[in-house]
């Protein structure tokens, strides 16, 4: 019997052995299309029988978003899109659900590494380390380093208490911070670890540090905007390791310049790799180039997880990590 075709969009760097082992149940191929237009043509020919996709974050440069425009060009044989990443905003899940295609992501594998970066940004912003480092590099020793604050006793408001948010809670509490959170729905006491559940407005009004840890979708785009920032404490700190577009960057720059926001720590940006010049020029902004999951261990775990999802789909018809919007498809 002919094995189902699995197509790799992008590169596998650390789990080549696991990828090759997948050949026991599938015909594995690397997508050679160089552009969205070429991909559409190839889907009519050499990839017309594809059953599953391994999709990397960076492959968007070739294919573009997996949206309503692209979906009709995929053959009806396609059953699974397995994405390498916790965030999957590059995929319009509703479109693929309507087409009967299941989508998976990589929850869990990225939690520790992203929470570590998140905590680094929080500490750096509270202690104003960026200003101190800039002063040192300018040959001024500590002249530009203002008196900062301790994390102990500060209130951390986590916006989006998923796996990364819960891992961040544990780290923040070890520094003496108290943690509250807002989700679409309240977690069980076991899941929240005792963190206080508050409304969105209460989180904004009572947090010393607001951390964005929620997925990007039409409901969360620019959830932190000028109106939301106005509800925050004067001198609040904002940190984002989720997706850049959950924050209106212009509103954030304006708030930094006015002093409403004391410091920010950002690992993601609205139009990355482009960064708002108002952030680049402001010493109150600690900026990282999307390094949340940039560790060998996390990258390897994610690659293995994607391959595991593909294998599960082909052999059982179910994905190990189907995205929450499609939970009903697993029943």
CATH of the domain at 170: 3.40.50.720
Summarize pLDDT for 60-84 with one digit per residue, the tens.
Answer: 999 999 999 999 999 999 999 999 9
Same domain (yes/no): 88, 165: no
Same domain (yes/no): 105, 126: no
Q: Is residue 156 part of a domain?
A: yes
Active-site residue, 171 included: no
Q: Which of 18, 173, 202, 272 is catalytic?
A: 272
The reported pTM is: 0.89
Same domain (yes/no): 163, 308: no
* pLDDT recorded at residue 152: 98
Q: Which of 171, 243, 276, 311 is catalytic?
A: 243
Active-site residue, 272 included: yes
Same domain (yes/no): 260, 223: yes
Q: Which of 18, 202, 290, 325 is catalytic?
A: 290
Active-site residue, 166 included: no
The answer to whether residue 331 scores a pLDDT higher than 80 is no
Question: DSSP characters for 22-53?
Answer: GGGTSEEEE----SHHHHHHHTTTTTTTEEEE
Q: Is residue 127 part of a domain?
A: yes
Same domain (yes/no): 267, 310: no
Question: 113, exposed or middle or buried, with CB in 10 Å at 0-12, 13-18, 19+?
Answer: buried
Summarize pLDDT for 92-141 with one digit per residue, the tens.
Answer: 999 999 999 999 999 999 999 999 999 999 999 999 999 999 999 999 99
The residue range of the domain holding 267 is 111-287
* pLDDT recorded at residue 206: 98
Q: Is residue 152 part of a domain?
A: yes
Q: Count of domains in the chain?
A: 2
Evaluate whether 223 touches 159 at the Cβ level (below 8 Å).
yes
- CA 265 from chain centre, in angstroms, equals 15
Q: Is residue 292 part of a domain?
A: no
């Amino acid at each position: 019997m002919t094995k189902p075709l699995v197509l790799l969009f992008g590169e596998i760097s650390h789990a080549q052995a696991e990828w090759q082992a997948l050949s026991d149940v599938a015909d594995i191929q690397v997508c050679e299309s160089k552009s969205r237009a070429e991909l559409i043509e190839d889907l009519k020919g050499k990839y017309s029988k594809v059953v599953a996709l391994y999709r990397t974050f960076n492959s968007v440069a070739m294919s573009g978003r997996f949206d309503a425009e692209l979906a009709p060009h995929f053959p009806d044989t396609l059953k699974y899109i397995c994405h390498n990443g916790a965030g999957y905003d590059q995929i319009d899940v509703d479109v693929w659900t309507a087409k009967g295609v299941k989508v998976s992501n990589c929850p869990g594998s990225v939690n520790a590494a992203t929470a570590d970066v998140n905590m680094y940004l929080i500490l750096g912003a509270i202690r104003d380390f960026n200003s101190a480092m800039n002063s040192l590099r300018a040959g001024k020793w500590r002249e530009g380093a203002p008196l900062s604050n301790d994390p102990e006793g500060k209130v951390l408001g986590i916006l989006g208490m998923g796996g990364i948010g819960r891992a961040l809670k544990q780290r923040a509490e070890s520094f003496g911070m108290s943690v509250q959170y807002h989700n679409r729905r309240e977690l069980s006491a076991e899941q929240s670890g005792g963190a206080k559940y508050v409304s969105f407005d209460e989180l904004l009004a009572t947090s010393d540090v607001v951390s964005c840890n929620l997925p990007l979708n039409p409901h969360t785009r620019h959830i932190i905007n000028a109106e939301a920032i106005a509800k925050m404490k004067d001198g609040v700190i904002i940190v984002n390791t989720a997706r850049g577009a959950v924050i209106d960057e212009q509103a954030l720059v304006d708030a930094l310049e006015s002093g409403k926001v004391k410091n920010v720590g950002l690992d993601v940006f609205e139009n990355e790799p482009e960064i708002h010049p108002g952030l680049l020029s402001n010493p109150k902004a600690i900026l990282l180039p999307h390094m949340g999951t940039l560790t060998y261990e996390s990258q390897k775990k994610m690659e293995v997880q994607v391959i595991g999802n593909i294998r599960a789909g082909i052999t059982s018809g179910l994905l190990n990590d189907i995205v929450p919007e499609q939970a009903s498809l697993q029943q």
